[in-house]
Amino acid sequence: MTINPELTISFSSTHRLQWEEAQQKDVILYPEGMVELNQPSAEILKLCDGTRTAPQIITVLEEKFSESNLTNDVNSFLEDALKNGWIQQS
């Protein structure tokens, strides 16, 4: 499974992304499990709202954190997220 740069990315309708006050972390919830996210992963996933493609997500993050060259890191995370079923493309 690879990310198609032409298509927008949305967060899975069968998973939930939520901030956990007790843990001071964002988590992904799904049947039989819970994944604790670090801050960069959570920032990427929050941008997967069905309006942006992968290159657009990268642009937003690079502007927000005044960084360049985030392309490889973000793409590799998105591919893992796709494999795990956290995000989808349509």
Residues of the shown chain interacting with other proteins in the complex, contacts defined by CB under 8 A: 1, 13-14, 16, 18, 20, 22-23, 27, 29-34, 83, 85
In the numeric block, the tokens 């993050």 are attached to: 61
Q: Which is nearer to other proteins, 22 or 72 (CB)?
A: 22
Q: What one-letter code names the amino acid at 78?
A: L
In the numeric block, the tokens 């964002």 are attached to: 26
Question: Rounded to the nearest whole angstrom, what is the least distance from the CB of residue 59 to other proteins in the complex?
Answer: 29
Question: Rounded to the nearest whole angstrom, what is the least distance from the CB of residue 14 to other proteins in the complex?
Answer: 4
Read off the tokens for 88: 């989808």
Q: In 3D, which of 40, 61, 50, 60 has the Cα closest to residue 88?
A: 50
Q: Which is nearer to other proteins, 58 or 88 (CB)?
A: 88
Q: Which is nearer to other proteins, 41 or 71 (CB)?
A: 41
Asked if residue 26 lies in contact with residue 38, where contact means CB atoms within 8 angstroms, the answer is no
